[in-house]
Amino acid sequence: MEKVLTVTLNPAIDKSTTIASLLPEKKLRCSEPIFEPGGGGVNVSRVLHNMGYSSTAMFMAGKHTGEFFTKLVEQEGIETLVVPIEGHTRENLIVHDASNDLQYRFGMPGPTVQEHEWRDCLNKLKELKGYTYVVISGSNPAGVLPDFYSEAADIVKEKKCKLILDTSGEALKHALREGVFLAKPNVGELSSLVGGKELNASSILDVAREIINKGYSEIIVVSMGPAGAMLITAKEHFHVPAPALKIKSTVGAGDSMVAGLIIGMQRKASLKDILKYGVAAGTAATIQVGSGLCTKENIEKVRSFFVSEAVTN
C-alpha cells in the first residue's frame, strides 16, 4: 500500500453537542459532548483509517489542548508526527438544534505560529522517506506565511512525492507556482485565482485547463457543493453530481472528499472512478450529525445513487 502523509497546520478539537432548542438568555441543557480531532489533514487521516488505509498525520500542537488533541488522534489508531508550538491548539463548538435540525458552528481563534515553528514543520518534511502522497489540507493559522506552501511544494517535489493540496487564498497560489499533483479548490477558490469572476461549468473547465497547461497542477478537482465535483486533466474531464440526500452536517465534507480521492488512487481506479470515490465520501459526510466524518457504510450507500457523465477531449 502506498504511504500517505497528511499535514495540518491549524488543527482543532471539535466539541459537538445537541440541545432541544436554541434560545437567547436561557440556560440550555446540552447532551453529553463528543470530542473529536479536527482540521483538514487530520480529517483525511481519520477517514482513511476508518476505510482501512493507513497514514501518518503531521500537525502542530501546543499547550494542554494540544496534548488532548494528540491523544484524541492516537486513540483512533493513527500514527502521529507532532510539531510542538508555544500557542494553544484551537477548539471548535458544533451545536445541533433538535427543534429544527439546524447546526451552529462556533470557531474559536487559534494560535499565532512563530516562523521557527512552521519552519520546523518544513524540516520534518525534508527528513521523511518512503511516502507516495503528501496531503496539505486545511486553514492557515496566523503567523504562517504563504512561503510555507511554496517551500513545502518544492520539498515534496524533490522527494518525488505527489502533493495533494486543499487550501485557499495566497497559500493556494504560492503552492501552485511550484507545481502540485492534485489541487482541490471549490468554485469560489478557483474563481479567486482568476480575479473573482463568476464561473459556470464551461468556464470552470477553461480556468482549470489554463492552470494545468501552465504546469501548476496535473489534476484539478473542483468541489461544487450539491452539484458534486469535476475532475480535470490536460486531456480529460469528468463530472459526478452528488446524490440528492438530506444534509445533516457539512463538517469535514471537503476533507472526506480528499480521502475518497486517495482511496480511489490506492485502488488504482480510473480517473472517473477516483472522482466517484471522492464525491461519495464527501456526500457521505453530509448525512451524519455533528462533526462525524463519512463511514464505509455511508460511502457505499451514496455510491449506489450515482449517475455520472464523462467527456473525453
- Active-site residue set: 255
Q: How many Cβ atoms sit within 10 Å of the Cβ of residue 78?
A: 19
Burial (CB count within 10 angstroms: exposed 0-12, middle 13-18, buried 19+), residue 272: middle
Three-state DSSP at 162 gives strand
- Is the CA virtual torsion 14, 16, 21, 27 positive or negative? negative
Amino acid at site 116: H
Q: What gap in Å lies between CA 283 and CA 167, rounded to an integer?
A: 19
Judge contact between 69 and 61, C-beta under 8 A: yes
- Residue 111, classed as helix, strand or coil, is coil
Which of 236, 234, 249, 239 lies closest to 283, judged by CA?
249
The beta strands (E) that lie in the chain are given as 4-8, 12-19, 34-38, 56-61, 79-84, 90-97, 102-107, 133-137, 162-166, 180-183, 217-223, 229-232, 236-240, 309-312
In 106-115, which positions are buried (b, 16+ CB within 10 angstroms) versus exposed (e)? eeeebbebee
Of 311, 279, 298, 253, the closest CA to residue 43 belongs to 253
Contact 187, 158 (CB under 8 A): no
- Whole-angstrom distance, CA of residue 283 vs CA of residue 142: 30
3-state secondary structure of 186: strand
Q: Which three cell numbers stand for residue 160?
A: 518525488
